[in-house]
């Protein structure tokens, strides 16, 4: 006996009753063992520590000791980590489970209770196993319980949120027990996850029998590797609380990640032979493989769908001048690929809604909240309402929210919404207050509201890919805009040259005209007919030259104007913003507005903004002196045109001045004291013409002015704009 181990450095913990455990170092010296193992050798644990295993257990195991030695040697030489060895020791059949871990040999044994499993049971089990569909965990529970005959078997899936959900169940009496319920985050602490993920299954024949002493002298001994390791304290208390004595827990791993458990529970102590446990393990692994293949197939199909959507989105982004227009065209796809109930696209105040979303006023409040409380590019909260309802006066009509902020400015968001769901949650708490026992566990059931299904990794990855696609499109369009600016700079230089050329080239024919007219006036009495005809020919050529010069300039202008691209533009928010901003700018607090139906139009955003800004500013300025200044804006569809009407009750335009309202620097006689340059309506008319539209103005002094605008509809508008 090695007396070096006779010290006070021994540590003791408790193991379960149904087996024995011995741990050896590389020289086969015993460095840890359980109480029942020592009893098998008929010696105390202190006596056995530090001795050679084969010497100390030679009598206890008889001829079987050589089989154990051979198995350990093969285990070490073959580099395997685990091995099961059924051995008959004298008259007792025993399972030996051998394992190598961190330089230690773990030898664990337990009694064999069944010599074999009946052929009928195996055939029945195989039939059930073959009929299990890839995602039918209820069938798995049924197959497992045909072998175990427990009160209930259920599948517990660990959610990303930390909650655990029972997704399938089979009970002996046919009545649901846990089905549809969730367990709170407290139910699966870190130590419980480590306990279940460390072994393919955990076997608890009697939850109350955990008082077998295990003595060890090295801190590196890992009892989690042993089936005799008892349940985490919290789960033991829980089983006792719900009157369960016997339990089995089978690990489920998907893509090498701990996914959940198949749990079997029985009210009475029940012995399950190792063969049955292993058969259940194989069955669950087979079902897991089917499910994993099913998940991978779904991922492949989803990837193909994502790739197809990505191609279409990239195509739309390249064809449309504005990113916003492309996203709105695919708003339904963007919502479905994230499995959301609704999607809102916010761009500088404009909002496009699809599906289940908050109304606009509430949505603006949500955007302001997000801008204030988060600077993340991607934000998700499956219980947004639960966490943030107190920041909103109105009841939120959704539970989960995820947003993607496009660009670096907080003025462009894609916001997905999920509806609230209701679930029953098992809450647990160890409570030692008020003189209660340390082992007192409080268990109760809550109904959880205002919580949505969390977004999974695949959905989040799609949003991240979407973000990258949009960034690339924005960068490309910025480059295109840069090139366009460079072209405009070149055009400005050309324009200066054309202006100089025009003034220079017109001087010559104009000088000829002027000189000829003066000559004819001075010699009208004595000039002959041939000279007169010659001057008239000169006049004609000069006029033709002037016409050619002007026509060339007009053609150039028309060619450049054709570069103006159009897109569908929502108008409601833009018009309201223009009115409010200029109402403040011109200090007209009494000015009231009436907005009727404000339809979208096809146009170029900056040009349309220029048109309506000029017209609304005029309406505000020239109606400010009225008793109740009022501006009315509404629209309708007329044939292939979107018609807008802007009406004010201002000072009006004198009838004699109406024919000149589009002339540069032209202003009526009744506008003295009101600031203005006289170029606004001229500019509006020219821009309307560049858009292919028309403008008409009606006005009477003292009764106000009405402006009629007609914008061509070049293609159908997206449904989301018309339903907005």
pLDDT tens digits, one per residue of 8-47: 578 899 999 999 999 999 999 999 999 999 999 999 999 9
- Rounded Cα–Cα distance for residues 49 and 71 (Å): 22
Q: Is residue 69 exposed (0-12), middle (13-18) or buried (19+ Cβ within 10 Å)? A: middle
- Rounded Cα–Cα distance for residues 442 and 436 (Å): 11
Higher pLDDT, 263 or 311: 263
Give the pLDDT of residue 425.
87
**Average pLDDT for the chain:** 83
- Residue 282 parent element (H or E): helix 274-319
Residue 446 burial (CB count, 10 A): 12
Higher pLDDT, 508 or 241: 241
**Residue 566 pLDDT more than 70?**
yes
**HSE value, Cβ hemisphere, 13 Å, CA-based, for 312:** 14
Give the pLDDT of residue 59.
93
**693-705 average pLDDT score:** 91
**327-349 average pLDDT score:** 88
Higher pLDDT, 79 or 233: 233
Report in angstroms the alpha-carbon separations of 66 from 48, 80, 84, 468: 19, 19, 15, 65
- Sign, CA dihedral 518-521-526-528, equals positive
- Rounded to the nearest 10°, the torsion over CA 464, 470, 471, 473 is 150
Tracing tokens 């999607």 back to the chain, one arrives at: 343
Give the pLDDT of residue 701.
87
Higher pLDDT, 92 or 326: 92
DSSP-derived secondary structure letter, 453:
P
- Rounded Cα–Cα distance for residues 565 and 56 (Å): 92
**Residue 505 pLDDT more than 50?**
no
**Residue 500 pLDDT more than 70?**
no
- Rounded Cα–Cα distance for residues 346 and 515 (Å): 65
Q: Is residue 33 exposed (0-12), middle (13-18) or buried (19+ Cβ within 10 Å)? A: buried
pLDDT tens digits, one per residue of 133-182: 777 899 889 989 988 999 999 999 998 788 899 999 999 999 999 998 99
**464-491 average pLDDT score:** 69
pLDDT tens digits, one per residue of 356-412: 999 989 999 999 999 888 888 899 988 899 899 999 999 999 999 999 988 767 778
Give the pLDDT of residue 410.
74
Among 337-351, 434-448, 493-507, the minimum mean pLDDT is found in 493-507
pLDDT tens digits, one per residue of 247-261: 999 999 988 889 999
- Rounded Cα–Cα distance for residues 162 and 409 (Å): 34
Confidence class for position 1, pLDDT limits 50, 70, 90:
very low
- Rounded Cα–Cα distance for residues 17 and 14 (Å): 9
pLDDT tens digits, one per residue of 608-655: 887 898 899 889 888 888 889 999 999 999 989 999 999 999 888 888
Q: Is residue 540 exposed (0-12), middle (13-18) or buried (19+ Cβ within 10 Å)? A: exposed
Task: Name the range with the highest mean pLDDT among 277-281, 404-408, 521-525.
Answer: 277-281
Is residue 396 a contact partner of residue 418, using CB atoms and an 8 Å limit? Answer: no
Q: What percent of the chain has pLDDT over 90?
A: 38
- Rounded Cα–Cα distance for residues 341 and 416 (Å): 8
Confidence class for position 4, pLDDT limits 50, 70, 90:
very low
Give the pLDDT of residue 333.
87
Give the pLDDT of residue 677.
60
**437-447 average pLDDT score:** 79
Among 418-427, 506-515, 681-690, the minimum mean pLDDT is found in 506-515
pLDDT tens digits, one per residue of 186-232: 999 888 999 999 889 999 999 999 889 999 988 888 888 899 999 99
Confidence class for position 3, pLDDT limits 50, 70, 90:
very low
Give the pLDDT of residue 664.
64
Residues linked to residue 587 through DSSP beta bridges, in sequence order: none
**Residue 561 pLDDT more than 60?**
no
Give the pLDDT of residue 556.
47
Higher pLDDT, 178 or 501: 178
**Residue 95 pLDDT more than 90?**
yes
**Residue 279 pLDDT more than 70?**
yes
**How many Å is the maximal CA-CA distance in the chain?**
155
pTM higher than 0.85, yes or no?
no
- Rounded to the nearest 10°, the torsion over CA 337, 340, 341, 344 is -90
Confidence class for position 2, pLDDT limits 50, 70, 90:
very low
Using alpha carbons only, give the angle 224, 225, 226 rounded to the nearest 5 degrees: 90
- Rounded Cα–Cα distance for residues 79 and 100 (Å): 9
Residue 547 burial (CB count, 10 A): 11
Q: Which structure tokens are listed for 51?
A: 């001795």
């Amino acid at each position: 006996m090695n007396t070096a181990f006779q010290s006070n450095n021994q540590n003791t913990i408790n193991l379960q009753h149904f087996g024995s455990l011995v741990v050896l170092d590389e020289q086969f010296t015993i460095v840890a063992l359980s109480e029942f193992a020592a009893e098998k050798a008929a010696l105390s644990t202190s006596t056995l520590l530090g001795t050679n295993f084969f010497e100390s257990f030679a009598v206890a195991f008889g001829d079987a000791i050589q089989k154990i030695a051979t198995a350990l040697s093969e285990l070490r030489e073959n580099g395997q980590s685990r091995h099961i060895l059924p051995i008959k020791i004298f008259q007792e059949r025993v399972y030996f489970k051998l394992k190598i871990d961190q330089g230690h040999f773990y030898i664990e044994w337990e009694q064999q209770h069944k010599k074999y499993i009946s052929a009928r049971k195996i055939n029945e089990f195989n039939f059930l196993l073959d009929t299990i569909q890839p995602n039918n965990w209820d069938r798995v529970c049924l197959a497992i319980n045909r072998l175990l005959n427990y009160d209930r078997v259920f599948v517990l899936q660990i959610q990303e949120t930390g909650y655990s959900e029972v997704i399938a169940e089979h009970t002996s009496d046919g009545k649901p027990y846990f089905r549809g319920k969730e367990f709170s985050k407290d139910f699966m602490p870190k130590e419980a996850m480590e306990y279940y993920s460390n072994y393919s299954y955990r076997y608890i024949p009697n939850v109350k029998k955990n008082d077998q002493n295990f003595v060890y002298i090295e801190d590196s001994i890992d009892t989690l590797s042993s089936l005799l390791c008892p349940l985490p304290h919290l789960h033991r208390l829980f089983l006792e609380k719900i009157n369960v004595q016997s339990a089995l827990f089978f690990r489920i791993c998907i893509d090498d990640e701990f996914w959940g458990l198949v749990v079997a529970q029985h009210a009475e102590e029940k012995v399950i032979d190792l063969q049955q446990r292993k058969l259940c393990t194989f069955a669950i692994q087979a079902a897991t493989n089917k499910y994993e293949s099913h998940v991978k197939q779904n991922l492949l199909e989803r990837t193909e769908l994502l790739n197809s959507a990505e191609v279409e989105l990239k195509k739309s982004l390249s064809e449309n001048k504005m990113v916003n227009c492309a996203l709105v065209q695919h708003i339904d796809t963007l919502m479905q690929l994230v499995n959301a109930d609704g999607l809102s696209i916010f761009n500088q105040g404009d909002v496009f809604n699809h599906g289940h979303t908050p109304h606009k006023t509430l949505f603006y409040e949500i955007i302001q909240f997000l801008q204030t409380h988060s600077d993340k590019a991607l934000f998700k909260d499956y219980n947004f309402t639960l966490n943030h309802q107190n920041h909103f006066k109105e009841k939120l009509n959704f539970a989960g929210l995820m947003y993607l902020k496009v660009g670096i400015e907080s003025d462009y968001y894609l916001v997905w919404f999920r509806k609230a769901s209701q679930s029953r949650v098992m809450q647990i708490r160890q409570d030692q207050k008020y003189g209660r026992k340390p082992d007192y566990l409080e268990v109760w059931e809550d109904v959880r509201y205002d919580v949505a299904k969390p977004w999974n990794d695949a959905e989040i990855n799609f949003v991240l890919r979407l973000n990258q696609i949009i960034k690339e499109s924005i960068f490309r369009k910025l480059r295109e805009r840069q090139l366009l600016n460079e072209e405009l700079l070149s055009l400005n230089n050309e324009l200066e040259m054309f202006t100089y050329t025009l003034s220079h080239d017109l001087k010559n024919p104009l000088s000829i005209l002027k000189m000829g007219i003066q000559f004819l006036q001075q010699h009208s009495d004595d000039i002959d007919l041939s000279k007169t005809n010659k001057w008239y020919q000169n006049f004609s050529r000069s006029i033709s030259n002037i016409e050619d010069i002007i026509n060339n300039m007009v053609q150039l202008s028309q060619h450049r104007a054709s570069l103006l691209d159009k897109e569908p533009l929502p108008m409601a928010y833009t018009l309201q913003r223009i009115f409010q901003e200029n109402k403040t700018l011109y200090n007209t607090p009494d000015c009231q507005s009436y907005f009727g139906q404000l339809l979208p139009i096809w146009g170029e955003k900056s040009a349309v903004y220029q048109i309506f800004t000029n017209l609304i500013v005029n309406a505000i300025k020239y109606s400010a002196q009225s008793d109740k200044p009022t501006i009315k804006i509404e629209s309708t569809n007329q044939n292939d045109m979107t018609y807008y009407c802007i009406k004010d009750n201002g000072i009006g335009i004198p009838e004699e001045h109406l024919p000149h309202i589009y002339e540069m620097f032209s202003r009526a006689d009744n506008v003295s004291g009101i600031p203005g340059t006289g170029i606004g309506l001229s500019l509006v008319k020219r821009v309307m013409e560049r858009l292919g539209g028309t403008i008409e103005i009606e006005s009477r002094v003292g009764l106000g002015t009405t402006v009629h605008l007609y914008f061509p509809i070049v293609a159908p508008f997206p449904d989301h704009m018309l339903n907005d």
